[in-house]
Amino acid sequence: MLGLMWSVCYIFILPPRGGDRHASGRQTLHGVRHCPGILAGIGDNCVVIERRIAVVFLVDPHGRVLMQHRSADAAVSPNQWSMPGGRIEEGEQPVEAARREVLEETGLAIGDLVPVWSGTRPSVTDPVRGLVEVHAFASSTRARQEDVVLGEGQAMIFLDPHDARARDLGVTAQLVLPPFLDSDLYAALRERAAGRDG
């Protein structure tokens, strides 16, 4: 039946860049509308990737994760807690954005980043049709609290896992923090930061 058929179109709303590669090798496109419908691209049933963001879990030798208390005037998740990170600039790879954002927000230069998760979440500004593409990375660090220079937000604090889970988490942190803290990767990064990784 025609009424049960779905099609997908890709309408570029920004100049095409050729896309980015996720850690999995999957090709994605920046600024692309995904439009399911009987006549692709017609009507109000299009989903728009509004923006792309990168966030980073930094795990210290005590197993604490660096968390940001966001500003009261933040456009997304004001006064809530999230990981260091932010918007991926045009032409920037997610891993590059992750390193840049951490440096800007904390003053910490980080080396190796391990991909944790890439996917989409509903937009806060348009949850019906808007999506935010999220790239989460993780790394161990020997940095101490006094090494952190607050570059954005109200605070940037290493929190133990129980305390981090108990905070009022921002929309992205709600999605990715709990599974990360339950993962083998978190345990391995904690051991590496403590110098017990063999």
Is 57 inside a domain boundary? yes
Per-residue pLDDT reduced to its tens digit, 62-116: 999 999 999 899 888 989 999 999 999 999 999 999 999 999 999 999 989 999 9
What is the rounded distance in angstroms from the CA atom of residue 181 to the CA atom of residue 189?
Answer: 11
How many structural domains does the chain have? Answer: 1
Is 138 inside a domain boundary? yes
Is 135 inside a domain boundary? yes
Is 74 inside a domain boundary? yes
Residue 121 CB coordination number (10 Å):
17
Q: Which two tokens stand for residue 183?
A: 């993962």
Residue 84 CB coordination number (10 Å):
26
Is 158 inside a domain boundary? yes
For residue 176, give the nearest of 57, 32, 37 by alpha carbon: 57
What is the rounded distance in angstroms from the CA atom of residue 111 to the CA atom of residue 56?
Answer: 12
User: For tokens 């896992």, what's the residue?
Assistant: 161
Average pLDDT value over all residues in the chain? 81
Per-residue pLDDT reduced to its tens digit, 136-194: 999 999 999 999 999 989 999 999 999 999 999 999 999 999 999 999 999 999 999 98
pLDDT for 44: 54
pLDDT for 16: 33
Is 198 inside a domain boundary? no
Q: What is the CATH number of the domain that holds 176?
A: 3.90.79.10
Is 121 inside a domain boundary? yes
Domain span including residue 24: 2-193
pLDDT for 192: 93
